[in-house]
Each structure stands twice: as C-alpha cells, then as structure tokens.
Amino acid sequence: MSRDRESTAINQVLRPAVFFDRDGVLNVDSDYLFEIDKFLWIDGAIEAVKAVNDAGYFAFVITNQSGVARGFYQETDVDRLHDWMAEQLAARDARIDAFEYCPFHPDGLVERYRRISDRRKPQPGMITDLLKKFPVDASKSFVIGDRSSDVEAARAAGLPGHVFAGGNLRDFILPLLANG
C-alpha cells in the first residue's frame, strides 16, 4: 500500500531520508483518522517537511492504518487523505516523496486485511520497502515517531529512531538535520 510522489532513476545519487510516522507526528492523533475535516497539522509539521526537503533529504510517511482492517474506513479513504496532505504541503512548497501505510492487523474484522504483516510497525517492512525503491543513504537517515513501535521499526531496519513527544515539529527536527 504505497503512494509514490516521484519516480526515481536507478543511477541517482544517494540521499538521506526522514521517515515520518503520521498520526501524532505530522497530525494530531485522533483515533482512526481518515476524514479531511478532522485533520489537524501538528505545530510546525509543514515547516518540518519543508526543512527536510530543503536539506536535500527524502521525506517519507510510514503509518499503520489498522482502521482499514477494523472496517472503520477503506484504503481509498487513506489515499484520499494522503492526496489532500500532499496538496496542502505543495501549497507551501513542501512534499512527501512517498506515503506508505499498512492496512493489516491480526485482529481485523475485514477478512482480507486480517493478518500479520512485516509492514506493520514495529516490523520494519514499510521502511525496508522504501529503502529498496529509492536511492536512500541509510547511514544518514532516521525515523521520527511518537511511539516505541516506531523506534523499534527503525532499529529493525538499521536506522536511528527519535521519539517526538509533542511541541513544534520543525524545532524538533532542525537539530537532527544539522547532525546528519
């Protein structure tokens, strides 16, 4: 379940990447968010994505979306929200290079999504899939999440993970970009 914003050529120069969790990092976490009218950006989130872009990093979103497996919403709803996020970012000259999400959950009510998946954090599948698709310099890349499962996924993929506990996301990320 991937929404790539840009295609990449095979012989491109490696670039570092920031892997953002979505709910609780880019937007205020409201359970099972899929409605645009309920979406609220975290303070400094758009500016953080722009700072990542301006620093020459890829910007990726990796998000568990078990609401699909639980029957609360459809994959098309996730895609619609991600498209809207991309439009909002573009209006501020910022971009996400790819949105990855995992709709699976072992306790899901929707049978086709009821399963264990290596893409569901704390497993690293979404990160490793992006590392295969894009020319990422993993040695300078990192994950930003708001839960231990985000940090565990980062570690499992061989990347550092940083816990964003709230506040202004741009202020949180600038020192991390400076150290990269």
Indicate the pLDDT class of residue 5, thresholds 50, 70 and 90.
very low
89, 64, 51, 52: which is closest to 153 by C-alpha?
64
Determine which helix (DSSP H) or strand (DSSP E) holds 53, and give its type and residue range: helix 45-54
Q: What is the mean pLDDT of residues 30-34?
A: 88
Q: What is the pTM of this model?
A: 0.92
65 in a domain, yes or no? yes
Domain of 50?
A: 19-179
The single residue of 4, 23, 77, 83 carrying the catalytic annotation is 23
Q: What is the mean pLDDT of residues 59-78?
A: 97
pLDDT at 8 over 80: no
Percent of the chain with pLDDT over 70: 93
169 in a domain, yes or no? yes
Relative to beta strand 98-102, strand 2-4 is: antiparallel
Query: Considering all CA atoms of the chain, what is the largest pairwise distance in Å, rounded to the nearest integer?
Result: 45
20, 59, 64: which is closest to 42 by C-alpha?
20
Say how many residues make up the chain: 180
Residue 129 in 3-state DSSP?
helix
Q: What is the mean pLDDT of residues 84-97?
A: 98
CATH number reported for the structural domain that contains residue 149 in this entry: 3.40.50.1000
8 in a domain, yes or no? no
2 in a domain, yes or no? no
**Assigned token pair, 29:** 């976490």
Residue 23 CA to residue 129 CA, distance in Å, equals 20
The single residue of 4, 21, 93, 118 carrying the catalytic annotation is 21
* Residue 63 β-bridge partners: 101
pLDDT at 10 over 90: no
21 is catalytic: yes
Per residue in 149-172, pLDDT tens? 999 999 999 999 999 999 999 999
- Count the domains in the chain: 1
Percent of the chain with pLDDT over 90: 89
72 in a domain, yes or no? yes
11 in a domain, yes or no? no
Main-chain dihedrals φ then ψ at residue 102, nearest 5 degrees? -115, 115
Spatial neighbors of 92 by CB under 8 A, at least 6 apart, are 46, 47, 50
57 in a domain, yes or no? yes
23 in a domain, yes or no? yes
79 is catalytic: no
